[in-house]
Structure 1
Amino acid sequence: MSHPATKSYGPPLGGGQLQSIQALRAIAAAMVVIYHLVHAENVYGGGATFLGGPAHFGFAGVDVFFVISGFIIATITARRFGSTAGALDFLGRRALRIFPLYWLCSAAIVLALIVRPGSLDPSIAEKSILHSLLLLPQEGGPMLVVGWTLTHELFFYTLTAIALAACSRSRIPRLIAVWAIVLLLLQLIPTHTPWPKLLTSPLALEFMAGAVAGLHWRRLSARHAWVPLTTGLIWMAVACLWLADHPSHGQTDGIRVLAFGLPSALVVAGLVRLEAEGRIQPPRIAVRLGDASYSLYLTHVFVLSLSGRVWGSLDATGTSIANAAFVFSTGATCCVTAHLVHRYVERPMTSLGNRVWDWSSSILAGAKH
């Protein structure tokens, strides 16, 4: 998932964009695409296999996104604590960032259910449209399969807004520590329904880890910034080796937090510190793909489904070479589609939403005075 966040992150680099974060978002989004390509190859690959092994760990891209989200939110809210108006503004802008494109993609699924219901997984028709559109917890997640991560994002945003309204910034480290302890204790209580699962999910620890990195990355010296970066990368590599033969490659919330979430926070802190010191410069193409990562996250499932059906209908898969062509061409199409959607749909909608929000906020502010 690309996680939805603004392109400019404010104070960390003197108002400039954190390009290393954008590049990391591109990597995380590509990981999720590769993970879903594994499934697409299983369905449309004619029995042959090109992807495998490390590709199964593409799901960890979601864990990277959650950490990035925590980092960004800790950064952009640094000067907004103690204000109810600031909390509402934060929550409103987050909603404007998430929902328009998500609703557009969800509408495509609803339309397909109406026009060609047999073309989709029957389980989709059983899901609540209202719960899906509002990203409320429900069994099996929303109609748009990747939307479950956005439900976790909204939960984190809501808690952040409450903290912005009720706390000072100096209390945030203690608040995070208390939340983490309570969450760990809640793991002792079994949960079986959607809401309790969300409220007690250990995945929230990944947002917390990212927020801690966002609060403290400046304390790293430039000389030592490579230490958390390399430690995090080695940590994840060892986790992949350890989980290679594990059922589902470790896709339980607790395992993925330990294996990929916590080390991702080290990677993020190290990368940002190195960028701040001018030690690294991410490739421009990675930054551009990072800009479009939310579009990539939401639209790639449509591209994979359409491409798989086309290749399957042509009987063009079934060998390793043919499947490699399917994987690379489909992955490239996902990226191109995401760039176009970002440029001509997502970015204009976000810009319009922000303008309307600014206008309405100014009207309300004027009415109060």
Structure 2
Amino acid sequence: MDNAPQQNRNDNLQMLRFFAAAFVLLTHITFYIHERVDNTIGIWHVGEVGVPIFFVISGFVMHLSAARIPRDSDGARIFMHRRVSRIFPLYWLITIVKLCIAFAVPAAILHNAPDLLHSLGSLVLFPMFNSEGQIRPIHGVAWTLLHEMLFYYIFALAMVLRRSPYVFSTIVITGMWAAGLFIQPESALAYVCTDRINLMFVAGMSLSAWIKSGRSIPRALGLLMLAVAVASLQGVDGAFFAFIHGYNIDAALIVMAAMALSLNALPSLKRLLVSLGDSSYSLYMLHPILAPAICVLLLKLKISSPYIIVPVAFVACVTAANLLYRYIENPLNELAKRHLGKVFLKSRPSHVAAKGS
């Protein structure tokens, strides 16, 4: 494959990261309006597709990264060093902020009130039931990170066992899901392991393997996939669309469509969306704190129209997340890489560590 298509695919994924985060943000803004401003305003559930889109992208990217990492214990350390450095610094910061808010202004936390054991479990991203019987860390949206970390642990285990991370992860994830069809999970960990949303990691890895083999998705097919996904998300009647949506296949179709389509005719817009894609994790982590505060603030200013609240909250969250990424998340990640390297890579020869960093 030549460099241009590869770059285009990376740009498409980055733009899609932003769209996925934006979908989740819009759904949550409508949820906050419903809960805190006007309960007659409906919740826009379509944006929930953003989460499985993230998982498909994660599977895609992890499959690509595995090709450049050795299949052994050294490779597993390199892999986990990168993932932990990427996931935990901002997550810990936001969780600490959430805990401070919970203790300083308890009335601001309508759900997921913290306790000591749940807080400790949240910090290490171990699946636990909260006080409302939900599998949620203290920072509620981080439930997705429980699935991400499970995927990373399985992926790293494959390297330790010197097996193909793609094949091994596919077998384990699919096997756990199949087991959940026959055995009712009882623990929070079992629920996370058997959840069918984990199949989206497999879908992402499979799409990556398809693209990496030199094959492509025709534009016409990509448009058809996008149309089917949109119809599914809009709740078109029929068993076919119910199946597509029920198994999150619409999310996989959207990512596949992104691989077939491009935005080369609008380079300025493309650069902006790619840049916003870089800050998608900050947007996902920050918005559950900032967006409800904006909703409450606007209500105090006698502004209750969703036509005003939604765009104001959306723009404010996207702008704040971009700043958070530039000045806090990115520096934190770099700091974590340096210090965690002493833990994950300390037993490796220096020239090997440098190559894998």
Task: State whether TM-score is above 0.5.
Answer: yes
The reply to whether residue 37 of structure 1 matches residue 51 of structure 2 is: no
Paired residue total: 342
Aligned to 2:355: none
The reply to whether residue 191 of structure 1 matches residue 185 of structure 2 is: yes
Matched to 1:134, the amino acid is V
**Conserved 8 A contact 1:12-1:75:** no
Matched to 1:110, the amino acid is L
1:18 pairs, out of 10, 19, 29, with: 10
Using the TM superposition, give the Cα deviation of residue 166 of structure 1 relative to its aligned residue in structure 2, in angstroms.
1.2
Aligned to 2:152: 157
The reply to whether residue 342 of structure 1 matches residue 336 of structure 2 is: no
Using the TM superposition, give the Cα deviation of residue 279 of structure 1 relative to its aligned residue in structure 2, in angstroms.
9.3
SS at match of 1:198: helix
Output the TM-score relative to the length of structure 2.
0.84
Using the TM superposition, give the Cα deviation of residue 338 of structure 1 relative to its aligned residue in structure 2, in angstroms.
0.2
SS at match of 1:192: coil
Matched to 1:65, the amino acid is F
Moved more, 207-216 or 35-44: 35-44
Aligned to 2:210: 216
Relative distance call for 1:310 and 1:267 in structure 2 (3 A) is closer
Aligned to 1:241: 234
Relative distance call for 1:348 and 1:179 in structure 2 (3 A) is closer
Using the TM superposition, give the Cα deviation of residue 256 of structure 1 relative to its aligned residue in structure 2, in angstroms.
4.8
Matched to 1:188, the amino acid is F
Matched to 2:31, the amino acid is H
Structure 2 unaligned blocks of 5 or more: 353-357
Cα separation, 1, equivalents of 2:18 and 2:185: 34
Aligned to 2:124: 134
Using the TM superposition, give the Cα deviation of residue 309 of structure 1 relative to its aligned residue in structure 2, in angstroms.
1.4
**Conserved 8 A contact 1:112-1:119:** yes
Measured against aligned partners, the alpha-carbon deviations of 1:8-51 in whole angstroms (never above 9, x if no partner) come to: xxx996689811100000000000001101111212334564x6
SS at match of 1:125: coil
Using the TM superposition, give the Cα deviation of residue 267 of structure 1 relative to its aligned residue in structure 2, in angstroms.
3.6
The reply to whether residue 232 of structure 1 matches residue 219 of structure 2 is: no
Matched to 1:286, the amino acid is L
SS at match of 1:242: coil
1:103 pairs, out of 81, 92, 115, with: 92
Structure 1 unaligned blocks of 5 or more: 1-10
Aligned to 1:66: 55
Q: How large is the RMSD of aligned CA atoms in angstroms?
A: 3.3
Relative distance call for 1:178 and 1:135 in structure 2 (3 A) is closer
Matched to 2:32, the amino acid is A
1:202 pairs, out of 167, 182, 196, with: 196
**Conserved 8 A contact 2:229-2:254:** no
Using the TM superposition, give the Cα deviation of residue 286 of structure 1 relative to its aligned residue in structure 2, in angstroms.
1.0
**Conserved 8 A contact 2:17-2:54:** yes
Percent sequence identity over matched residues? Answer: 25
The reply to whether residue 329 of structure 1 matches residue 312 of structure 2 is: yes
SS at match of 1:187: helix
Cα separation, 2, equivalents of 1:189 and 1:255: 24
Relative distance call for 1:178 and 1:193 in structure 2 (3 A) is closer
